């Protein structure tokens, strides 16, 4: 008598089930990685825009004024909104500027938001005219908000 060689039907079905489960897990990992890549790109873009606006204000290229929902030129097809909050001068002659950049999307789409805050030495009007210099930066903090899509 010859012994049967090969796989039984149950072994083939079990192997296909394991292969299918492994492919489903790999597919989900690829999808999550793609979503995280888009989120990281968006976060980097928001940080660069906020930093650019802050640097323009500190350098004197852009006026240091409060702004709300001002469209921001991003240089690409994405739409961003800019909010600027200028704080008063405290007892140590420090002034705070907060720049908030967020995507111009509806709340249902969970738009990304980035905040950058910088404190700097505020110059008196007479000092600014006499020395004709810009404010020196003191420090900065930033926060980001946004979620996975």
Structural domain range at position 68? 9-145
Q: 95 lies in a domain?
A: yes
Q: 3 lies in a domain?
A: no
Q: Tens of pLDDT along 27-60?
A: 999 999 999 999 999 999 999 999 999 999 888 8
Q: Tens of pLDDT along 79-109?
A: 899 999 998 888 888 888 999 999 988 887 8
Q: 20 lies in a domain?
A: yes
Contact 45, 78 (CB under 8 A): yes
- 114 Cβ neighbours under 8 A, 6+ residues apart: 43, 46, 47, 49, 50, 100, 101, 102, 142, 143, 144, 145, 146
Backbone phi and psi for residue 33, each to the nearest 5 degrees, phi listed first: -65, -40
Q: 46 lies in a domain?
A: yes
Total domains in the chain come to: 1
pTM of the model: 0.67
pLDDT of the residue at 1: 58
Q: 71 lies in a domain?
A: yes
Q: 56 lies in a domain?
A: yes
Q: 4 lies in a domain?
A: no
Q: 1 lies in a domain?
A: no
């Amino acid at each position: 008598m010859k012994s049967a060689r090969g796989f039984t039907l149950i072994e083939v079905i079990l192997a296909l089930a394991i292969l299918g489960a492994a492919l489903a897990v790999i597919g989900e990992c690829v999808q999550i990685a793609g979503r995280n890549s888009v989120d990281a790109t968006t976060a980097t873009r928001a940080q660069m825009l906020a930093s650019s606006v802050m640097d323009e204000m500190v350098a004197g290229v852009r006026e240091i004024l409060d702004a709300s929902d001002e469209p921001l030129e991003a240089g690409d097809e994405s739409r961003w909104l800019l909010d600027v909050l200028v704080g008063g001068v405290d007892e140590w002659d420090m002034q705070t500027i907060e720049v908030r950049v967020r995507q111009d999307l509806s709340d249902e789409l969970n738009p990304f938001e980035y905040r950058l805050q910088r404190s700097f030495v505020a110059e008196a009007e007479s000092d600014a005219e006499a020395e004709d210099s810009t404010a020196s930066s003191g420090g900065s903090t930033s926060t980001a908000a946004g979620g996975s899509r």
